[in-house]
Amino acid sequence: MKSDASENAGLDPSKLPAHVAVIMDGNGRWAKKRMLNRVKGHERGADTVRLVVRTSREIGIRYLTLYAFSTENWQRPEAEISALMTLLKRFLASEKQEMVENNIRLNTIGETDRLPADVRKALAQSKEATGANDGMCLTLALSYGGRAEIARAAREIAEAVKEGRMDPQEVTPQRLAEYMYTAQVPDPELLIRTSGEFRVSNFLLWQIAYTEIFVTPTLWPEFTRDEYIEILRDFGKRERRFGRIMS
Ligand code: FPP
């Protein structure tokens, strides 16, 4: 079913990225352009989340990671944070059944213990309901920051060394990767950022060392299935060298 779907979209399944990460930016600008409240932009953004999750699963993407709430987002006005949390809860409630039926496993990265109790509960329920699924892993980055993630890994390693469970010589990139939230997830091969900003914004700093980056000017609420497929097609044409020379 998966390869059929990617062939239908005119994509070569062998050239698809296994892991796509997305910085979903531009909800606020979308709303401002229409003289609407920023929350309206996030509401439309949540619809795009549904579309991209569905399309990714249909095409055969194995891992999809979405930057839904950064550590910096806690500095936004209280009302906007609360609206984002409500949207997240609504998304989890409305998509739970679909995730179960479509063999999607829900995963999170970030300081999720900082989230409100009702959101944590909804996350726990969705994770529990989808835990055995292996069709696609949907990771929501929530209260996530790349530097905080690296600091957390360093802290855990320091503890291990202090307690004599690890030798400093063992601290290699491979071992460090095991201390990241993403220990069980391969590095993303493609990072998409909407709304035209050429920034990484503290997202997956460790994991994107060799990731292909695609920036589109489209605002997240206006991002379409067709544009997503075009980006995947473009990815298939890029030559990935990982610092080597290809003959
Ligand atoms: C950026 O828009 C987006 C966010 C801060 C978070 C992304 C949230 C959603 C897509 C909605 C809900 C999420 C889920 C998972 C249901 P921005 O406000 O930074 O836009 P701007 O840069 O134009 O102001």
Q: Let me know if residue 223 belongs to a domain.
A: yes
The count of structural domains within the chain is 1
Q: Let me know if residue 102 belongs to a domain.
A: yes
110: domain CATH number is 3.40.1180.10
Neighbours of 126 (CB within 10 A): 23
pLDDT at position 6: 61
59-97: per-residue pLDDT in tens?
999 999 999 999 999 999 999 999 999 999 999 999 999
Q: Let me know if residue 111 belongs to a domain.
A: yes
pLDDT for 240 beyond 90: no
pLDDT for 1 beyond 50: no
pLDDT for 247 beyond 70: no
Q: Which residue has better confidence, 175 or 9?
A: 175
Closest to 232 (Cα-Cα) out of 4, 1, 22: 22
Closest to 74 (Cα-Cα) out of 142, 151, 152: 142
How far apart are the C-alpha atoms of 27 and 245, rounded to whole Å? 40
Q: Let me know if residue 5 belongs to a domain.
A: no
pLDDT at position 227: 98
How far apart are the C-alpha atoms of 202 and 72, rounded to whole Å? 9
Show the ligand 1 pocket: residues with CB < 6 angstroms.
24-29, 42, 45-46, 49, 68-69, 73, 84, 87-88, 91, 140, 195, 220
How far apart are the C-alpha atoms of 27 and 195, rounded to whole Å? 9
Tell me if residue 226 is catalytic.
no
Q: Let me know if residue 127 belongs to a domain.
A: yes
Q: Let me know if residue 161 belongs to a domain.
A: no
Q: Let me know if residue 36 belongs to a domain.
A: yes
Q: Where are the beta strands (DSSP E) in the chain?
A: 19-23, 63-70, 104-109, 136-144, 190-193, 212-215
State which residues form the domain around 202: 19-145+188-234
Q: At what angle do helices 78-101 and 38-59 cross, to 10 degrees?
A: 20
Whole-number Å distance, alpha carbon 53 to ligand 1 midpoint, is 15
Tell me if residue 73 is catalytic.
yes
Q: Let me know if residue 13 belongs to a domain.
A: no
